[in-house]
Structure 1
């Protein structure tokens, strides 16, 4: 499917003084890598329902996974374009009473904005609703789609919209709000462009969340065409689990951002998820890889509530499927493996081990070059000769015994006068 550019979240280059003077750096629309049917999604109660099981879920043994954890009671903050609870798979998954809307009431020209509900449950873009579904959508009859952590709770924090009216300041505010709302995992499917680091207050907000014991997961970005390598924010901040996108072959998706800051990769191509009002649509992007990993973090957190953010991140990185030893700037420590993350967890670790994660085969033993008869062949030949000799000897002895017997009989007959 050809890649078609979509608006990306950007933080414009500016000085801190300018930021303070103009409220904050503006953010553009949420990132999506390429369209795979989302434009045909009309966001209606009669919207198409995906009847099968998406490939990103088929790669996981859900029964084995959920025998370990379903993310029960873990609170995951989705900082995005809002989460529409009208979709029946999200109605029970979202804690609307804890949500908020941090979009400004007016745009840069002083015109009123259509903000939606104050609790963050309005999503005219559909981006945040997709993200939330990948994390915690409840099972529903008639579809094989479900969230990876179907008993986790979503905290909807509306911080951006289709026009990118969110700011670096509101993103920092959203992170702090999530901590106060007792989030244990934060998902941020937004990133900067042109490797521009935002104002330091965003970094401080991330550090505060980590210090409070919150796992922070962020998309690595969709600017990776042509092997482009650059840092993005907040994904590249220390302690944040940056997620790249992988395809069905566990390889980096062409659009996925590369860099040393990438922690792991996760499915990000043709990602089916919930949309406003009802039904499902499909889309591509690291925006949808991040919540896949955020869901795994919620599962780990539910099973090991006392593990620190660093330990949760290290567990996910350590158990990822690797194609090489060590870290790969394209997919980090590998493609996330939810089942391994929940089953190979007998003790916490603080960092992944470079030499683990691959199956090491025994090297072949080369045969010795022998120009003549090998010792084994020589022994086999002698054994054959011995066997033949023994057989001949037995036959000879048997024949001699018969001849001797006959001769004795003849002597007795002659001696008797017959």
Structure 2
């Protein structure tokens, strides 16, 4: 039985990884940034500003907690081009691997590229790697969320869809052997096919080794379509949907109970082969956003388990209500909260700690007695008022007596014209 084929998940038509048959449905692209609306070329122009997905994050506050140093993130994709200035020092070339088959299904040779996984003719894997760990560059405001993390490049798919669940399982196992702490998989099976048990077994092996596995949820969500995708739907995998600039589900993003969180996936600026940047859309680029956050947490809390890291991301996500839904899971990931609201590790998210409905105002309590302090205050008031009344009374009496004496003296005196 042939292994199910895989596809990567950008929504834009430009520079899209086409790995399925001609019936592959692509979600329509959202509007890209003005300077990057044309088809992407390799190399491309340098993006001068700070992309919106990074503007929503206080990077100074984030990086004061962690930059991902010492954490290894495996990018299982179409390869990672190390010719890009922001990636050449971010990639561990020696640990990379090319796992593409030698021949395609027709028996024709495949152009495999470098055996260390650093060839990327598609650009998909290079974009994914940049979102995770691109190094700072004075020419651009774009940078990876974990700019000191290390990328392990694993080329497992290409533009013709020669990767399948068998090569993906092999890639996961190689990532574990290469010491990856986090694995990013921006692919799913064509038609949401349930893969062979070997892929699930490979995922389970990674989780058992305390590796965080992050996977994109898929781009077939138009019209409210709900279905499971793999490997995102496997238990223990952190499934990531795409959100837009309003922190709402992107129209193409796959929905389902398996979705754990959402992250920016519209107009995503990132690195491309041979230099420069391009904009793209899809849950393919939401997943590495979350993988970068996972790398930051792992660097700050090296003893935390994979489950605790996943729970931290879920628990601190921005929610519109307490609990989980099938559109954005536990909410849109909040990198700063994930790194600062971390007093203790959690094993599972707590719905009651999310946003709650406003409470009706409570009625004022009816006093049925008085405390000793209240009684003393009341008596002191009485004394003060009484003293004031007494003083006023005495003062009034003195004035009356004085006036009476004056009138008496006037009455007793003889008239002015009387002779004595």
Q: TM tier, shorter chain?
A: 0.7 to 0.9
- Residue in structure 1 matching 2:321, options 319, 324, 331: 324
Distance in 1, Cα, partners of 2:121 & 2:335: 31
* Residue 241 (str. 1) matches residue 220 (str. 2): no
Query: For structure 1, which segment, 322-331 or 25-34, has the greater mean C-alpha deviation from structure 2 after superposition?
Result: 25-34
* Residue 94 (str. 1) matches residue 101 (str. 2): no
The answer to whether the Cα contact below 8 Å between 1:28 and 1:163 also exists between their aligned partners in 2 is no
- Residue in structure 1 matching 2:63, options 54, 66, 69: 66
- Residue in structure 2 matching 1:119, options 84, 105, 116: 116
Distance in 2, Cα, partners of 1:245 & 1:351: 22
Distance in 1, Cα, partners of 2:396 & 2:139: 88
TM-score (norm 1): 0.84
Deviations 1:172-212 (Å, cap 9, x if unpaired)?
Answer: 00000000100000000001243320111000000001011
Distance in 2, Cα, partners of 1:243 & 1:175: 18
Distance in 1, Cα, partners of 2:191 & 2:100: 24
Distance in 2, Cα, partners of 1:29 & 1:132: 14
Aligned to 1:300: 297
Deviations 1:36-93 (Å, cap 9, x if unpaired)?
Answer: 457622112xx21111111111111111111111100100000001111111011111
Aligned to 2:16: none
* Residue 40 (str. 1) matches residue 19 (str. 2): no
- How far the C-alpha of 1:34 sits from its partner, in A, is 3.9
Alignment of 1:260-271 (within 5 A): 260-271=257-268
Distance in 1, Cα, partners of 2:37 & 2:233: 29
Alignment of 1:221-236 (within 5 A): 221-236=218-233
Q: How many residues in Structure 1 have an aligned counterpart in Structure 2?
A: 374
Alignment of 1:110-189 (within 5 A): 110-189=107-186
Alignment of 1:303-382 (within 5 A): 303-358=300-355, 361-365=358-362
Q: Which runs of 5+ in 2 are unaligned?
A: 12-26, 366-387, 416-420
Distance in 1, Cα, partners of 2:227 & 2:45: 38
- Residue in structure 1 matching 2:189, options 178, 189, 192: 192
The answer to whether the Cα contact below 8 Å between 1:28 and 1:165 also exists between their aligned partners in 2 is no
Structure of larger gyration radius: 2
TM-score (norm 2): 0.84
Indicate the SS of the match to 1:88: coil
- How far the C-alpha of 1:309 sits from its partner, in A, is 1.1
